[in-house]
Amino acid sequence: MAVRSTREIRRAVVTGGAGFLGSHLCEHLLDRGVEVVCLDNFLTGSPENVLHLMERPGFRLVRCDVTDYVHVPGPVDLVLHFASPASPVDYLKMPIETLKVGSLGTLHTLGLAKEKGARYVLASTSEVYGDPLEHPQREEYWGNVNPVGPRGVYDEAKRFSEALTTAYRTSQDTDTAIVRIFNTYGPRMRPDDGRAIPAFVGQALAGRPLTVAGDGSQTRSICYVDDTVRGILALAFSTETGPVNIGNPDELSMLDLARWIVRLTGSASEIGFIDLPVDDPKVRRPDTTRAQQLLDWQPQVPSEEGLRRTVDWFAAQRELLAAHVG
């Protein structure tokens, strides 16, 4: 079990706080009584994701690009650096922006944490393992990444940000931690962000064929957003440095995921196949032993329940949009 920090966290900065995962982090922190400064340049995030938080005491939304400059007046106890395009559609379209937020954005937010004497948590990713030759993936595994492949802009940005975060901890005495996040899903994902679950759900609800890449045998381990956030905050409120994998070891193939979503939506959609993207990982499953031992964390939401909640949210969004257009 990790020794809990004796420092009280009263005010946190969340970069990328108007994104899918960042908005859930903001919400959970507010529920814990922590004031939140949400920074976002709205490149892939949206103010709509935090609209329901705007009237809550202690929440502040600031338009800010952390690759330029970061200034937050007043005390800060925790910096959560979650700003970055995170889906292949986004980072393939914005490769330079992705590299900049992983390098300059990490540098600037680490500088903020050092200036304020704050705890710092870097959002890293299972993508640092690349197309892994070790399965499941342990934190000790160095990965199998193609630095000049199309996914390299995201993978290497995160690998660099991990090295920079570690350097600040070892040479600048900054209190840092690294979380490696595996495939997370849930409400507030963008329908068009290119990831499998929103794509499949959108296609199923519209009665279109679900487009499975390759033969669908490649696997992912999907973790419901509430579980992911619990794990991130368990690390944030601890004294552990990481890296720590946070994800659900419940591994399934993309073809099985597509079939599952067709069943949950009650759709008559068929399943079609498209070419497999370049350097697409064949397998992905976290070894979560470290998270269990150090943080007393493990996922609690069964995948079927999480998928049902996600399908219900997307269906409600479609109804709202149809009512608005109508």
Q: Catalytic residue positions?
A: 154
Distant-in-sequence, close-in-space partners of 263: CB < 8 Å, separation ≥ 6: none
User: How far is Cα 29 from Cα 43, in angstroms, rounded to an integer?
Assistant: 23
Q: Identity (one letter) of the amino acid at 208?
A: R
Q: What is the dihedral of CA 142, 222, 86, 30, to 10 degrees?
A: -110
Tell me if 291 sits within 8 A of 231, measured CB to CB.
yes
Distant-in-sequence, close-in-space partners of 319: CB < 8 Å, separation ≥ 6: none
Strands 219-221 and 251-253: antiparallel
How many angstroms from the chain centroid is the CA of residue 58? 23
User: How far is Cα 61 from Cα 114, in angstroms, rounded to an integer?
Assistant: 22
CA dist list (Å): 243 to 18, 95, 121, 219, 228: 24, 25, 10, 23, 15
Q: What's the length of the chain?
A: 326
